Structure 1
Amino acid sequence: MSPAKRAPLDRRRVADTALRLLNETGLDGLTLRAIATELDVKAPALYWHFKDKQALLDEMATEMYRRMLAGTELDPDESWQERLRRINRGLRKALLGYRDGAKVFSGSRFTGTDHAPTLEANLRLLTDAGFTLTQAVDAGQTATVYTLGFVAEEQGVRHLPGERRAGYDVEERARRLTEFPLAAAVGELLFDDYDRQFEEGLAVVIAGIGARYGIS
């Protein structure tokens, strides 16, 4: 038995193991039984820490967020636009580090208060820029939901970076749609260069937030 498996079983260790297995199995294949096998314990032992799979997903999302924040520092002098860009670029990068990362993160509830200092600082920056608290929440939520949705679509095509799912051959798609030249041409725009797509969409979202609330 390895030293890692002799370590005390706790929520964070279980979540860490689950995140490692996630890249092998995907979310649908991730079971408490598989995690227990990897940890060399009986499945019922996990129920002392997690009442069900959703509780485990909450802890996994929390651990993903901890890792995303690790080693980063907020710049109090950046604009609200720069802050939203940086947060959502970081979120996308973090989610892409795990197969089905966006699915795990979406709808999950943070299990601790690790997120509170950053959330407080972000809300303070937006309200200092002229947003009401409600507007600041709506602005942040809109940008976050855009990122989650984008990454969910991106990972639907590419489970992991460099791995395109079968059926997304852009050239074959263009051949099948030769009678519809515009529709045929957008295959490369839809299913390639996700970095460009993400940045353009995020720019549109942030510009729209500024226009909506009249804050530059």
Structure 2
Amino acid sequence: MTTERRAPLDRGRVADTALKLLNEVGLEGLTLRAIAKELDVKAPALYWHFKDKQALLDEMATEMLRRMAAEFTDRADVPPQEWRTAFFRMMSGLREHLLRYRDGAKVYAGTRFTDMSYAEPMEASLRLLTQAGFTPAAAARAWFTAYSYTIGYVIEEQSMGPDPATGTGGYDLQARAERLAGQPLAAQAGHEMFQRRDEGFAAGLHAVIAGIEATLRSDPAAK
């Protein structure tokens, strides 16, 4: 008879297990029943900690943020004149973290964080921008614009890319080009939009930051 004791079931253990299982089954396959099976408990036991799947997704997104929060804060700790590079690195870091989880951006988008883990990274980002010459309102708009671009880009690349579990699937550019034979510019655009995703993200983010600077930054002396 074994005397080994299992770790107590709590919100952290459930969220950690759910994140690991997410990489195997994706968001559609992530059910409370599947998580309970992975934890070797009955599904009703999870309802003591999460009232429904959305509540669990909120905790999963919060745990993802906890794991990246310190890195974000560190990247914002630079002289004001380096704000473009720091801002670029912060959003690139967000993308890198989301890509570590299958459907990570879908889990992260639209959730409500369950604690204050988001506060210091956001404060550091806004402080970086205000010190670089943005008003508080413009800094908020700048941050949310770049953040939304990053989340949206990762949702698209994870949705269009190959299945992480099998390496199969993904967008068939040849078939797309054949369907768009009568629209050559649209056909050609697919190679730019759906290949070299790292370069595509970087190019888009640089464009977003340039637009933010041109339209939202208020202090000419800081340029």
| CA 1:162–1:24: 2 relative to 1, 3 Å | closer
* Structure 2 match to 1:14: 14
Percentage identity across paired residues of the two chains: 57
User: Residues of 1 paired with 2:158 and 2:175: CA distance?
Assistant: 20
Give how far 1:176 is off.
3.5
Deviations 1:142-182 (A, max 9, x none): 1000011111111111143994635x222232234333322
| Structure 1 residue ranges without an equivalent (≥5) | none
Letter in 2 for 1:135: A
Name the SS for the 1:63 alignment partner. Answer: helix
CA contact (8 A) 1:96 1:161 kept: no
CA contact (8 A) 1:173 1:184 kept: yes
Name the SS for the 1:6 alignment partner. Answer: coil
Deviations 1:77-123 (A, max 9, x none): 26221222111101111111111111100011111122222222221
* TM-score for both structures, normalised by structure 2: 0.87
Letter in 2 for 1:14: V
CA contact (8 A) 1:99 1:160 kept: yes
Q: How many residues align?
A: 214
CA contact (8 A) 1:80 1:126 kept: yes
Letter in 2 for 1:10: D
| Structure 2 residue ranges without an equivalent (≥5) | none
Give how far 1:70 is off.
5.2
User: Residues of 2 paired with 1:58 and 1:136: CA distance?
Assistant: 26
Aligned pairs for 1:36-185 (under 5 A) are 36-69=36-69, 73-74=74-75, 75-77=77-79, 79-158=82-161, 159-160=163-164, 163=167, 165-166=169-170, 168-185=171-188
Give how far 1:71 is off.
5.8
Letter in 1 for 2:37: T
User: Residues of 2 paired with 1:87 and 1:111: CA distance?
Assistant: 22
User: Residues of 2 paired with 1:200 and 1:162: CA distance?
Assistant: 29
User: Residues of 2 paired with 1:212 and 1:129: CA distance?
Assistant: 14
Residue 200 in structure 1 maps to residue 203 in structure 2: yes
User: Residues of 2 paired with 1:43 and 1:176: CA distance?
Assistant: 46
Name the SS for the 2:41 alignment partner. Answer: coil
Q: Aligned-pair RMSD on alpha carbons? A: 2.3
User: Residues of 2 paired with 1:161 and 1:81: CA distance?
Assistant: 36
Letter in 2 for 1:198: F
User: Residues of 1 paired with 2:168 and 2:37: CA distance?
Assistant: 30
| CA 1:161–1:80: 2 relative to 1, 3 Å | farther
CA contact (8 A) 1:96 1:160 kept: no
User: Residues of 1 paired with 2:27 and 2:92: CA distance?
Assistant: 23
| CA 1:134–1:163: 2 relative to 1, 3 Å | farther
CA contact (8 A) 2:138 2:217 kept: no
| CA 1:103–1:116: 2 relative to 1, 3 Å | same
Letter in 1 for 2:47: Y
Give how far 1:69 is off.
3.2
CA contact (8 A) 1:143 1:202 kept: yes
User: Residues of 2 paired with 1:17 and 1:100: CA distance?
Assistant: 15
